[in-house]
C-alpha cells in the first residue's frame, strides 16, 4: 500500500493494494480508488497480492483472458482492431461528414437531442 503514489493523501478505506482487502467491506457512499489500473496491477504483481490490485470485475476479466488459448487471444485482438477502426476518433472533417456537428459546440442536452432527431429523420 505504501508504494501507491497517493498513499499519503488517500482516504479510501478499502484499498485495492491492501493484502487484507478481502476481509474489508466498502460501505455505501465511501470513496472508491481512482488510481489507474496499470499502476495498481504493477504494484499488485510486485507484492503478489491475491487479486493483484484489481477490482473483482477487473480480476475476473484478467483471469478469463489468461485462460484463453493463444489462438483465441489473437482472434480477440483482431476483433478489437476492427472495432477500434469503426469508432475511430478522427476529426469529422477527415471523415467527410459535411453536416457533422462537434458535441463540444452544443451547450444544452436539448441541442444534442435536436441534432440526433434531425440526423435520424
pTM of the model: 0.59
Higher pLDDT, 65 or 93: 65
Alpha-carbon gap, residue 58 to 49, rounded angstroms:
14
Query: Can you give the pLDDT at residue 29?
Result: 87
For 47-86, what is each residue's pLDDT tens digit?
Answer: 898 888 898 899 999 999 999 999 999 999 998 888 887 7
For 3-34, what is each residue's pLDDT tens digit?
Answer: 888 888 888 888 888 888 888 888 888 888 88
Number of H helices, E strands in the chain: 4, 0
Is 29 exposed, middle or buried, given 0-12, 13-18 or 19+ CB atoms closer than 10 A?
exposed
Query: Can you give the pLDDT at residue 90?
Result: 54
Angle, CA of 28, 29 and 30, to the nearest 5°: 95
Work out the number of other CB atoms within 10 angstroms of the CB of residue 106.
Answer: 14
Amino acid at each position: 500500500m505504501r508504494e501507491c503514489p497517493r498513499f499519503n493523501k488517500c482516504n479510501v478505506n478499502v484499498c485495492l493494494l491492501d493484502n487484507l482487502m478481502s476481509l474489508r467491506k466498502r460501505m455505501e457512499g465511501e470513496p472508491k480508488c481512482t488510481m489507474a489500473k496499470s499502476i495498481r496491477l504493477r504494484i499488485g504483481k510486485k507484492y503478489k497480492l491475491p487479486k493483484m490490485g484489481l477490482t473483482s470485475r477487473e480480476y475476473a476479466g484478467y483471469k478469463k483472458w489468461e485462460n484463453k488459448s493463444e489462438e483465441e487471444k489473437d482472434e480477440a485482438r483482431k476483433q478489437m482492431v476492427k472495432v477500434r477502426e469503426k469508432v475511430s476518433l478522427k476529426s469529422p472533417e477527415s471523415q467527410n461528414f459535411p453536416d457533422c456537428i462537434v458535441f463540444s459546440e452544443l451547450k444544452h442536452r436539448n441541442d444534442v437531442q435536436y441534432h440526433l432527431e434531425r440526423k435520424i429523420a
